Amino acid sequence: MTMRKIRLGVNIDHVATIRNARGGIHPDPVNAALLAEKAGADGITAHLREDRRHISDHDIDRLMEKLSVPLNLEMAATTEMLDIALKHRPASACIVPEKRQELTTEGGLDVVRGYDDLRPFVLKLRQANISVSLFIDPDEEQIRASKNIGAHKVELHTGTYVDKTGDARLAELERLRRGAALCETLDLEVHAGHGLNYETVRAIAEIPQFTELNIGHFLIGEAIFIGLAETMRKMKSLMDLGRKNVEQE
Ligand code: PXP
């Protein structure tokens, strides 16, 4: 069996959260992105939120200018964000639901109910050669709707799996497993992310269809203690351990 690669996308939003707490320029999320790139990140993810609570427009300008690895721009399906994406043409855009009051992205996008509204966004991004990802829960209907709407890939929400414990966590892991397998049968690339940490990442990497994990909050938090490069090294070695099990299947 050939080795199925798994990429690590590093989300740098929370470097900007710390910067913005004081309103200055330190720490610079673009420096963090360049450091992550040097330490082996396969891609950088940044979420430009409507309220600009962490990443700013200027950060996106500089990321586009300075990064060598692909930028995955997380964005809400709004005309403002679409214009920004079309101006910058990042390698990929991940459409996420966004509420002003939430602390972080809560739940996946409802592609089934929002199909008609989302479709023009997906088409315009596609026409600009941007690879379109939809952030969804591991739900069969959402996966099928994502395929039908023309997304290149989906990112399955791992937040519920991480938040649960015991049997409930195992049940959610099984949903993720089934969801990822369905994506493969539909020829839909499948990523995963949200809330992942050292404890939870390995079982996710063991799911063979996942080609990329996007991780932010835990990596940035842990970097305070041991540095970003070392945190990424540990995270990648746990991902590789999960992949080893896949190879042995
Ligand atoms: N993927 C998506 C779509 C997200 O919205 C986020 C959070 O911004 C992440 C991955 C990363 O989640 P976390 O910061 O909890 O690792």
Ligand 1 centre to CA of 215 (Å) is 6
pLDDT mean over 76-100: 94
Over residues 71-75, mean pLDDT: 98
CB atoms within 10 A of CB 119: 15
pTM to 2 decimals?
A: 0.96
- For residue 102, what pLDDT band results from cuts at 50, 70 and 90? low
Tokens of 5: 């690669």
pLDDT, tens digit (0-9, with 9 covering 90-100), for 190-224: 999 999 999 999 999 999 999 999 999 999 999 99
Calculate how far, in angstroms, residue 136's C-alpha sits from the geometric centre of ligand 1. Answer: 12
191 as an active site residue: the answer is no
> Across all residues in the chain, what is the average pLDDT?
95
pLDDT-derived band at 103 (thresholds 50, 70, 90) equals low
Ligand 1: residues with CB < 6 A are 11, 13, 47, 74, 94, 96, 104-105, 135, 155, 193-196, 214-218
Give me ligand 1 centre to Cα 120, in Å.
24
pLDDT tens profile 8-38: 999 999 999 999 999 999 999 999 999 999 9
Residue-range domains of the chain with CATH = 7-248 (3.20.20.70)
Query: What average pLDDT does the segment 110-134 reach?
Result: 97
Residue 142 is encoded by which pair of tokens? 């959402």
Is 157 catalytic? The answer is no
Taking residues 137-163, report their average pLDDT.
98
- Residue 96 is classified by DSSP as -
Active site residue 194: yes
